């Protein structure tokens, strides 16, 4: 791959000099207590490596804070402080150019961007942005209704209400999904909800709304194609990694006006 020399910047060019390196910190959750979630996390990383998403990337993996298998608000709250501490440490270390937080519920995403000097990408936020580029309306297929409600709330927070057609759940616990138990039943449930989202809710793009569902993406695409349905199926962690790489290469970071520090300012903006 040809590398463009961007070190010769003109006077007044606000872009910093890029050293051509891409250093990512992956912060996973739910993996410090459950052995099978740790194994699944490595499966996700291996899959991305095979697809070339980690080519020319120096990456590091943090198994995440100790906590429960996240399926509700209480679980999310329990692991959030640990995630935030890890983002702050990654930023202050100077060893990384961006951080990717695994988990579609995007724990402490906005808080992390306030304490970090480097871009912080969440899987849910990234997937919704990518899906919005692929069609007019997208639906999210998730594991449980209790998580679907939180995903809908995040959709509003991210201002995608006008594009989010629906959030549908297959009603399988995350533990079963990650262990790949009852494969035929899982795929059948995903197919039913996928076609309901398309035919009843008006979705033209689908997101699998839990990183535990990532391994099901090929199965869902196959079922759709078997019925001549060429709807894009978005895999969230792929979106987060791709956007992280893009921000590094474009030398862009989150706006300090959107994620300000607590330091007093000479001139505060009206909000």
Angle 55-128-236 from CA coordinates, rounded to 5°: 40
Are both 245 and 156 inside the same structural domain?
Answer: no
Q: Is residue 158 part of a domain?
A: yes
For residue 174, give its domain range: 125-236
Residues 6+ positions from 98 with CB-CB distance below 8 Å: 22, 23, 24, 25, 118, 119, 120, 121, 244, 245, 247, 248
HSE of 58, CA atoms in CB hemisphere, 13 A: 8
Are both 208 and 245 inside the same structural domain?
Answer: no
Q: Is residue 117 part of a domain?
A: yes
CA distance 197 to 235: 17
Q: Is residue 136 part of a domain?
A: yes
- With 0-12 CB in 10 A as exposed, 13-18 as middle and 19+ as buried, what is 98? buried
Phi-psi map region of 211: left, alpha, beta (phi>0 left; psi -120 to 50 alpha): alpha
Q: Are 153 and 133 in contact (CB under 8 A)?
A: no
Are both 180 and 134 inside the same structural domain?
Answer: yes
Are both 55 and 45 inside the same structural domain?
Answer: yes
Are both 115 and 244 inside the same structural domain?
Answer: yes
CA distance 28 to 25: 10
- Tokens 């995440």 -> residue: 64
Helix 123-134 and helix 145-157, axial crossing angle in degrees, nearest 10 = 70
- Here the CATH number for the domain that contains residue 29 is 3.40.50.1860
Show the low-confidence residues of the chain (pLDDT under 70). Answer: 1-19, 28-37
CA distance 218 to 158: 27
Are both 97 and 154 inside the same structural domain?
Answer: no
First to last CA, the chain: 45
H helical segments located in 94-235: 109-115, 123-134, 145-157, 174-179, 183-199, 217-226
- With 0-12 CB in 10 A as exposed, 13-18 as middle and 19+ as buried, what is 84? buried
- pLDDT computed for residue 3 by the predictor: 38
Q: Is residue 85 part of a domain?
A: yes
- pLDDT computed for residue 6 by the predictor: 36
Are both 231 and 153 inside the same structural domain?
Answer: yes
- Using only C-alpha atoms, the chain has a radius of gyration, in whole angstroms, of 19
DSSP, res 230 = -
Are both 66 and 104 inside the same structural domain?
Answer: yes
Q: Is residue 244 part of a domain?
A: yes
- pLDDT computed for residue 262 by the predictor: 82
- pLDDT computed for residue 245 by the predictor: 93
DSSP, res 58 = E
Are both 117 and 131 inside the same structural domain?
Answer: no
- Tokens 């270390």 -> residue: 93
Q: Is residue 160 part of a domain?
A: yes
CA distance 64 to 80: 10
Domain count, the chain: 2
List the structure tokens of 65: 């804070």
- pLDDT computed for residue 81 by the predictor: 92
* Digit-coded pLDDT (tens) for 65-116: 877 778 889 988 988 999 999 999 999 999 899 999 988 999 999 999 999 9
Q: Is residue 256 part of a domain?
A: no
Strand, helix or coil for residue 243: helix
Are both 79 and 175 inside the same structural domain?
Answer: no
Q: How many residues are recorded in the chain?
A: 271
Are both 162 and 37 inside the same structural domain?
Answer: no
Are both 148 and 118 inside the same structural domain?
Answer: no
Q: Is residue 261 part of a domain?
A: no
- Here the CATH number for the domain that contains residue 187 is 3.40.50.12500
């Amino acid at each position: 791959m040809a590398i463009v020399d961007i070190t010769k910047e003109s006077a007044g060019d606000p872009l910093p000099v890029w050293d051509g390196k891409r250093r990512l910190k992956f912060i996973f959750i739910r993996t410090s207590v459950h052995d099978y979630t740790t194994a699944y996390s490595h499966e996700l990383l291996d899959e991305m490596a095979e697809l070339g998403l980690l080519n020319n990337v120096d990456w590091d993996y943090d198994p995440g804070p100790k906590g429960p298998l996240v399926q509700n608000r209480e679980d999310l709250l329990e692991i959030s402080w640990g995630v935030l501490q890890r983002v702050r440490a990654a930023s202050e270390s100077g060893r990384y150019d961006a951080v990717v937080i695994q988990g579609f519920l995007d724990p402490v995403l906005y808080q992390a961007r306030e304490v970090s000097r480097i871009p912080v990408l969440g899987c849910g936020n990234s997937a919704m942005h990518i899906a919005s580029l692929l069609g007019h309306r997208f639906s999210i297929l998730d594991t449980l209704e209790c998580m679907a409600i939180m995903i809908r709330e995040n959709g509003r927070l991210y201002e995608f209400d006008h594009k989010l057609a629906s959030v549908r759940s297959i009603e399988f616990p995350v533990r079963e999904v990650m262990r790949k138990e009852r494969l035929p039943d899982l795929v059948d449930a995903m197919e039913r909800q996928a076609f309901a989202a398309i035919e009843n809710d008006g979705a033209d793009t689908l997101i699998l709304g839990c990183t535990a569902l990532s391994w099901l993406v090929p199965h869902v695409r196959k079922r759709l194609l078997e019925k001549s349905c060429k709807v894009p199926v978005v895999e969230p962690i792929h979106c987060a990694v791709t956007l992280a790489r893009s921000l590094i290469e474009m030398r862009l970071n989150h706006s300090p006006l959107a994620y300000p520090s607590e330091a007093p300012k000479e001139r505060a903006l009206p909000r």
